[in-house]
A and B are shown apart, each in its own frame.
Chain A
Amino acid sequence: MPILSLSDVSKSFGALQVARAISFDLEKGEALGIIGPNGAGKSTLFNLITGNLQVDAGRIHFEGRDITRVPAEKRCLMGFGRSFQIPQPFEKLTVFENLVVAGAFGSNLPENQVTGLCAEILVECGLIDRANDPAGSLTLLQRKRLELARSLATSPKVLLLDEIAGGLTEAECHALVETIRAIHARGVSIIWIEHVLHALNSVVSRLLVLDFGKVIGLGEPGEIMASREVREIYLGIEI
């Protein structure tokens, strides 16, 4: 049974259709990459999965359960973690507090039972030496890492990463990929939206291509990147 399953999910903003009958399954422990041109509806798809936006049509199942109408905060408790494309830390809280809030409320545990986990995550994500600084004082790389760390603190079963490698230097990107690989190796299922393809392809085993809210390709990364349609639409190469 897939851990997450979307069937014919659609969403429109007025006349603009941002998701057109999207269907795919995510297997437990799988890492799936999502690519597509800007405005293809990738972040919207995440909003539909996390419940920040309600679908107009179609169903979403998580571990076999229909969650189409479950609100965002309940979905978080069920096991969804999400990092934003533009980092959204709680700027006035310290880095550690950002994680503690996520850990305590995201898994319904008292604070003193999550502080250990939060400290481990900070070490893993390379933020432990900034633990007591306000999150608003972090650099871009650190904010991206905090996004990842905070979503991990909710003990997610499915981790949704939105362009987490964008804007990083080569070395920073490499270090982040190593962290994500380690998280994946622990059995966390991952859906990752990314434009930095070499980073993405070193983690995911399947790629899904979105264009104008529609799935136009789903399969092995090599196969997808070789397909004519994807090269035309996504890479802009005239063949």
Chain B
Amino acid sequence: MIWIDTIIQGILLGGLYALFAAGLSLVFGIMRLVNLAHGDLIVLGAFLILVLVTALGLNPFLATLVAIPLMFALGWGLQLVILNRTLGDDILPPLLVTFGLSIVIQNGLLEGFSADSQRISAGALETASIPLGPVTVGVMPLLTFLSALAVIVALNQLFYRTSLGRAFRATSDDPVTAGLMGIEPNRIFAVATGIAFVVVTIAALYLGTRANFDPTIGPARLIYAFEAVIIGGLGSLWGTLAGGIIIGVAQTVGAAINPEWQILAGHVAFLVVLAVRPRGLFPKGL
């Protein structure tokens, strides 16, 4: 029974990692841009939600709804003004620029909020739980997982059922030819990053309500996100969810054996997948 419980907790934790990873996967899939500031952007989103909660007295979920358009605009502008200039045949400029952005965000947050660790309070929901068959699961972890599912379903619908999604896929395939079809790749990329920032904001809500955060924890979240994307296979959103779940389960099982093994077990699971299936479990193009 304790094992079933451990695995279910791991799966739910995997939802959080999938949320961390979905935005990264989206941006990489469409414009081959590896965003090293992704973890810091999640932390930035968490601070934005925190400010909205404390300054306006909003409920965290409502504050997230307010933060989403702000973050979309930030992502859209960032892509249009800065990141589009780094894209090209050379993969180094986007890495350097997003690495710099990561430093800027961390130090900006340290300046503004100090190094104290913070938390977004979700009130009674934090401790609420519901019985689910033989085990009892927390409402927040369950909401996290369901949100991850909803985000991935929504992104898949967007990609395969809408005009914008087809433009994403066409541009991802060949930006020059897409331009000849009347698509402006730079604008398409800006919208894609805006959408990735919406996912980042949703991830930020659950990051901030689940545990304490401070301005410097972004890179550690980035690692989980990378691992989830690579386990799942580049370009597959369902694969990213599977990758998140594998890391989540490995971590909770590791922790159940010995609390010191939690983080290590996640990384070991990643290395095993990398050794056995270097292209990930479900590789495909976006």
Contacts and interface: CB of A to CB of B under 8 A. Distances in A.
Interface of A: 50, 52, 71-73, 76-77, 80, 82, 84, 88, 90-93, 97-98, 100-102, 104-108, 110-111, 150, 154
A9 B177 CA distance: 23
13 contacts: A52-B176, A52-B179, A52-B180, A73-B179, A73-B180, A76-B181, A90-B170, A90-B174, A93-B169, A104-B163, A105-B181, A106-B182, A110-B163
A77 B182 CA distance: 6
B182 A100 contact: no
B184 A93 contact: no
A110 to B, nearest CB: 7
A88 B166 contact: no
Interface of B: 163, 166-167, 169-170, 172-174, 176-184, 285-286
A150 B177 CA distance: 11
Nearest to B161: A111
A38 B176 CA distance: 23
Contacts of A93: 166, 169-170, 173
Contacts of B169: 90, 92-93, 97
A235 B141 CA distance: 74
Contact of A150 (B181, B183, B184): B181
By secondary structure, the B interface counts as helix
A71 B182 CA distance: 10
Given A76-B179, A111-B163, A154-B181, 13 more contacts: A50-B180, A52-B179, A72-B180, A73-B184, A77-B182, A92-B169, A92-B172, A92-B285, A101-B166, A101-B167, A105-B183, A106-B181, A107-B182
Contacts of A71: 179
A76 B163 CA distance: 18
A97 B166 contact: yes
A73 B182 contact: yes
